[in-house]
Structures are given as structure tokens and as C-alpha cells.
Structure 1
């Protein structure tokens, strides 16, 4: 990760220690100066000023059993990468961390965020701009992503029929691979309506492995596509080889329907992103 050595500017750590005076104390993250030095993250001031580092407090590090001397440079760089984002912490509804993890703001104007497992992370105090990098102290450490897309789909309520269909067609194997992939997961109810939308008998669709594989393959695309970087106004190429149109209004074209991403979308996994849909994706109607 040598590229981190020039995207992360030097940080003056005196501003991150707790205030010993009578004013409001800035939560302490005094570990950061030593961590950046050990990781070799030194660069001229002002480089890549859009970066924000979510810096866990000293107490959060102790609770996570994180011991700086026990980490080699590569491991430490990967750990820091997990806490860096190019998104605007004060206004963005979703933060895409540089390791691919997505954090979701719990409420519209709140300081609490949810990670991929639903655990809360709270921003503490005001962000500090120091030589080109914004440092935002947080109350806990971000853990690495372990669940694959296949793990996540199996564990998600409302995706039981999709789980069965992916397993029966063999497409589940793709979702356990390194990827990355983005999956647009139709709900159980949407899959139940799929046969009628295709003009098929439900029993015929579910017993026709080729037809079911073709249908589900339209819901898989290569790459990691959280909603805020989706190519709205253009299209994506699906695993089926077909084009999935993404219109300029944030909708996916499915036959004669225009589908928004449903609640529960933007779930980050080790090998990609999981979105939710209320209906299946069909080729555009003529």
C-alpha cells in the first residue's frame, strides 16, 4: 500500500489530546501521531485534502485490544485505510470507507452511523482540519468486513426465495468468490410475481433452471457500486451479458417499470455491495 504514503498528509497531534483547561475537551486520539509515523504515512501538506480520517479514541483502542507495536507496517496501513473516506462526513448520508465498507447515517442530521453489521459508531466533538486532512474522532474501531454477499443474502430476512434460487442455479458460488460484485436482490414477494411478469406459469419458471439462471443473472454486475457512485443516466453490464439501464432519476429500468433501490440497500460485504429491490429486473420492454 505504498500509495498511502502520498495521499495522507502529516498530522499535528497536539490538537487531538484532551484539553486540560477549562474549555470543552476534545476527545483524545493521541495514538494517531505514532500510528502514522509507524505506517510511513508522510507526505507534503495539502495533498488530497478531501480525505477524512475517523480516529477512534484512546479508550476505543483499548477496548478493541489494539496494540500498535504488534502490527507490521502493511497491517497498520490496512487498518488505517479502513478508517479513511473521501466523503463529506457532515453532509453525506453514506460514507464509503477506502476499504469498501459503507457506513449509513442513522438519522438525517445525527452523529451516529451504522456499519455493515448494524453496529453504531458515534462521531465525537468537532472535526479538525490539520495540514490537508480532516480528523474526526469516533467512539469505536471499525472492524474488517468478513461476510460475503452469499453470507449476507442467506442471513437477510425477506430474501429466502432468492437464497433458494441462487443455490439451485449454482449462482451462489459466484457470490462467495472474491469479486467484487454488486447484487440487486429482489424481495421474496417480487420473485413470486416474476413468473406472471414473464408470462410463465410459476411452477414452470421454478423448475426451468436455464430460465431461472437467466433471470437471476440480470441482478449481478461486476464491481462495487454503492448508490452514490452508481452510473445514473447510463447503464451497467450484467452477468447475463445484458444492459441494465440506470436512468437519471435514480431508477433501474425493469421492463415497463422504473425501480428505486429499496430500504436495506447499500450493504457492504467483503466482496461487494448488496442492494434491495421490490421487483425482479427484466429486459426493457419494446
Structure 2
């Protein structure tokens, strides 16, 4: 039963119990209906506001990614209609990079390199785990995607998990799949993938 039906049922039950009681208080039914309208409006706001950037902002495991997206000026792009599939490195994935690499990437003089790295993790279109797995199976173990950056990533399966092989032959594994957003889907990965 969806939220609107549940709330409607509560309103009907409240109205019946008030009329059965015979002691209806003036304005009581109206107050319940007003509260119902507010709940429905709030739910709509939450559903429409959850872009890829909003979802990442709400998850502390993506704080390094969010800082990088902000530094690269990609917030507006990743908040746009999309849809996008983002293979999002967790903070632990960024921690695997050589010491000082993240700080270096965040410097203004490395803006284009940072944009290239981040857009290498983004694919146009929405590919949930089921679609990716099906494409890998149809591709006899490999599904190659072209990223927004223009480079390619090979997706495969290992021990039941989706893996990414970047342009340099390095691999990453999807550790959390299908984090839904209003403009696409996020798959958290355990290593940063690198373009050539």
C-alpha cells in the first residue's frame, strides 16, 4: 500500500471514530486532512531532490568524491536531468591512491585532469546492476562502456560481483550496487579507475 493510500485510510478511520463517538470536536477532521496534505507534499520534495549529487552529499563514504566534484565544477552537471550511471569511488578507494595524489588533483592548476578523472567514472544512461549483468552475460563475460570523458571501461563479473577494468588494466569492484537517484544510479567501487 503506498503512502497516499495509507494516509487516506487513516483519515477515513479518524473520521469514522469521531462520528461514532458522537462528540465531534469542531475542526478536528480538517486538522487531520491538513496534516495529510503536508506529509504528501514533503514526500514529493524528497523524491524529486535526490539527484546523484544529493545522494553523494548524504553519504559520508563519498565525502572525498563530493569534494572533488565541487572542485571540478561538476555539481551542476551531475545534478542535471541525466540519466547517468556513476561508478563512485568511496573514501577508502581514494585512500588507495599514492600519498598526496588527491591533494594534488584538487589544486586549481590540475582542474582539467580532475575533470577527466571524474567524468571517466560516469556513463551516460542508467545501467542498474541487472542491466549490467545481463549485458556482461550477452557479451560473453565483457561489456565495454564509453564514459563521459570519452575513454572506455570494460565491465565483467568475478565471484558474482561486477568489476571494472580501466584503460591501464587496473581493476575495481562494485561494493554497493543500485543506489538510486532521481537522475540515474550510483554503484560504489573500491578503487579509483584511471583513464590513459
> Same fold by TM-score, threshold 0.5 exceeded?
yes
CA distance in 1, matches of 2:178, 2:58: 16
Tell me which residue corresponds to 1:112: none
Question: How many residues are matched?
Answer: 147
Q: TM-score, normalised by structure 2?
A: 0.66
1:267 Cα deviation after fit: 1.1
Q: 1:202 to 1:186 in 2, by over 3 A?
A: closer
SS at match of 2:187: strand
CA distance in 1, matches of 2:156, 2:75: 28
Gaps of at least 5 residues in structure 1 are 1-55, 67-142
State how far apart, in whole Å, the 2-side matches of 1:202 and 1:185 are.
15
Q: Residues 180 and 280 of structure 1: is their aligned pair in 2 closer, same or farther, counting only changes over 3 Å? A: same
| Residue of structure 2 equivalent to 1:270 | 182
Structure 1 distance, partners of 2:174, 2:102, is 25
SS in 1 for 2:70: helix
SS of aligned partner of 1:252: strand
CA distance in 1, matches of 2:169, 2:82: 30
* 1:260 alignment counterpart: 173
Q: Gapped runs of 5+ residues in structure 2?
A: 10-42, 137-141
Residue of 200, 210, 229 corresponding to 2:131: 229
Q: CA RMSD in A?
A: 2.4
TM-score (norm 1): 0.47
Greater RCO, CA 8 A, separation 6+: 2
Task: Tell whether 2:6 aligns with 1:63.
Answer: yes
The structure where helix makes up a greater share of residues is 2
Cα pair 2:172 2:192 within 8 Å, conserved:
no
